[in-house]
A = this chain, B = another copy of it.
């Protein structure tokens, strides 16, 4: 592997000059030509490890997430990687398997000037692991899950508006008995979506009985059991909102298993699982997060911190609007 020394020798200049050339600092035209030739001829590439040792800049960003096999993470990490690559950064992937301690351990591993920044998708709203990053003055963006206790850049979907608008759509279709399945009250996303739902109902003057609101959890089983319970209520709702991917899937199956028709008996609005209506050929409305925007905002915010370390640890929340995708069979399911 050719080094800067080889290049300098071949070009007949000093390594200092070559270094300047590499780093875009002006050198005499006649030297520039010679160095360029040598670089080309020797197929010289900089050694990022030597550079990192000297500069403490690695051009590597770690992305930490609970489960790369989720519905949402692959899409967003794909965007993040793509954008970062255009800015000459690479992505180190760490799956935390939704385990607090594994996350803690992996952060420790990476921390010692290994990376120029962290992009984290929190497991829950605990902040200790991330606090450590900030204490070391390492750039950090937290995405997806609101962390009220953490002073850093947070890129979040506008969950309140998302749930509010979806609910408004249902109300606009004439539904008055609408149920909601969301995560437990510890989950900040779940709470925001619940708030949006209630906001829409309140502003429409529609009273939702407490048994229509299930805030138990975000897993598929929660969606399935929740929907089953709601469907067996004496006064059954005419529409159901499920507030994440897993509960949407669970609720969908419970409705099917109950033998109800999604066009006639029970309108379903879900989150995140854009392909579900298409795959199942069923009329389901979906709230989709704006993944390209989230990725772009995240990278932008992180690079800003890398450029200006004073920004590290400054609280800033960026809300990205979601998109409501009406069911392809819209109009169906009016009560």
Task: Tell me the A residues contacting B by CB distance below 8 Å.
Answer: 1, 45-50, 52-53, 58, 60, 63, 67-70, 73-75, 77-78, 81-82, 85, 90-95, 97, 106, 108-114, 249, 252-253, 256-257, 276, 278-281
Copies in the complex: 2
Give A278 to B97 CA distance when docked, in angstroms: 24
A70 CB contacts on chain B under 8 angstroms? 74
A279 CB contacts on chain B under 8 angstroms? 249, 252-253, 276, 279-280
The chain B residue sitting closest to A281, CB to CB, is B256
Choose one: B50, B78, B114; the contact of A69 (CB below 8 Å).
B78
- Indicate if the CB atoms of A77 and B81 lie closer than 8 Å: no
A253 CB contacts on chain B under 8 angstroms? 278-279, 281
- Indicate if the CB atoms of A58 and B69 lie closer than 8 Å: no
- Indicate if the CB atoms of A58 and B67 lie closer than 8 Å: no
Choose one: B48, B78, B111, B113; the contact of A67 (CB below 8 Å).
B78
- Indicate if the CB atoms of B85 and A74 lie closer than 8 Å: no
Contacts A92-B90, A111-B45, A112-B46: A68 and B78 contacting too (C-beta < 8 A)? yes
A271 nearest CB across to chain B (Å): 16
A221 nearest CB across to chain B (Å): 13
A114 CB contacts on chain B under 8 angstroms? 48-49
- Indicate if the CB atoms of B256 and A47 lie closer than 8 Å: no
